[in-house]
Amino acid sequence: ASIGKGNFRHFMEKELHENPAIIGDTLNRMIDPATRLPVLPDLAVDLAAIPRISLSACGSAYYAGLTARYWLEEIARIPMDADVASEFRYREPPLDPAGLGLVISQSGETADTMAALRYMKRQGCKVMSVVNVPESTMARESDLMLETIAGPEISVASTKAFTAQLAVLAGFTLALARARDARSDAEIAPLVAALMELPGKMAQLLADDTEIRALAEDIRDARDVLFFGRGSMMPIALEGALKLKELSYIHAEGYPAGEMKHGPIALIDPSVPVIAVLPSGPLFEKTASNLQEAAARGGRIILFSDKAGAARLAGIANRTIIITECDPFVAPILYAIPVQLLAYHVAVLKGTDVDQPRNLAKSVTVE
């Protein structure tokens, strides 16, 4: 069947709006309705016995994996390394054969990620894939597969597949935390509840994008845009910058907030929007002080935060996009949507080809 845009102008917009349904479906497959605890399909691997995880992926899928690294290390207490597949495949990292290889891919066909998967297998590891196409080469060649149920993604820039990858990896983290006795069921329960609230919060966010459109007007003529985040929000800063540069051709860089003073601070002046993805949480004050420093150098501070965060930084933020409160665990999944929407609206204003940005391909099947 051919896929249409429905009432939307672009596939990207349509696919962003599919988020609540997709995340709901993806989570419903992973959470047992009776116990409200995470369940995984019968995996041919003893999760409790894995000593470490090695992740490899490309593009946004890699950022989903980087986010998961924070979750898997902190919540499931499992060491994890992560590298883009084009580096991983030639780095010849020695892998513990008892360890789990992890590849993440919307298409399941990206050449470098495929090569990483095969390298992991040659090193004797079992490989788990998180893919959106269950018939794909990666799905077939991996030992276990967790499917994102995002449906076909037409927009070259990944949106719903990215959030679905995050949802699957969040569920996997909680299942692993239980299997390894890293967290008690009482500790897991509120994290499950936070995940299950996501579809409703996403729908709320998508229902009114007036503020994000206004922000898009503000930054459409910028030459450079900086995105900062810390902890599990750091990869969302990377994703925001990636999407903005891909869709609007504005130079954008995502950075760990703490690295600001090691480079990007040199770029800051009143013409440079400084965007922070900064929900309330344990690391809030650290990034808040980075932003104060950026503001003191004339940076135009743009904040994505909740009401409490917005109030705390009202004195320095030039514009704030208020996001519904959520548990810090799920914040990367929720905040992915407004940063992707921002890139979308800037591209629409600039009149670029939103669904088919120049020079980019949906699936990179050659090296």
Q: Which positions touch ligand G6P (CB under 6 A)?
A: 58-61, 105-107, 110, 113, 156-158, 360, 362-364
Closest CB to ligand G6P among residues 352, 363: 363
Closest CB to ligand G6P among residues 22, 317: 22
* Whole-angstrom distance, CA of residue 170 vs CA of residue 166: 6
Q: Quick one: which H or E segment has residue 256?
A: strand 251-256
CB of 59 to ligand G6P, least distance (A): 3
Closest CB to ligand G6P among residues 153, 209: 153
- Other beta carbons less than 10 A from residue 149's beta carbon: 19
Closest CB to ligand G6P among residues 61, 72: 61
CB of 88 to ligand G6P, least distance (A): 13
Residue that is written with structure tokens 């013409």 in the block: 271
- Pick from 173, 106, 157, 113: nearest CA to 353: 157
For ligand G6P, the nearest residue by Cβ is 59
111, 365 Cβ separation under 8 angstroms: yes
Residue that is written with structure tokens 């810390």 in the block: 230
Coil, helix or strand for 65? helix
CB of 138 to ligand G6P, least distance (A): 8
CB of 115 to ligand G6P, least distance (A): 12
* Whole-angstrom distance, CA of residue 36 vs CA of residue 153: 29
55, 69 Cβ separation under 8 angstroms: yes
Closest CB to ligand G6P among residues 117, 303: 117
CB of 14 to ligand G6P, least distance (A): 16
What b/e readout covers 156-187, taking b as 16+ CB neighbours within 10 angstroms? bbbbbbbbbbbbbbbbbbbbbbbbeebbeeee
Closest CB to ligand G6P among residues 188, 337: 337
The residues pairing with 131 across neighbouring beta strands, listed in sequence order, are 105, 147
CB of 367 to ligand G6P, least distance (A): 13
Report the relative pairing of strands 144-147 and 273-277 from DSSP bridges.
unpaired
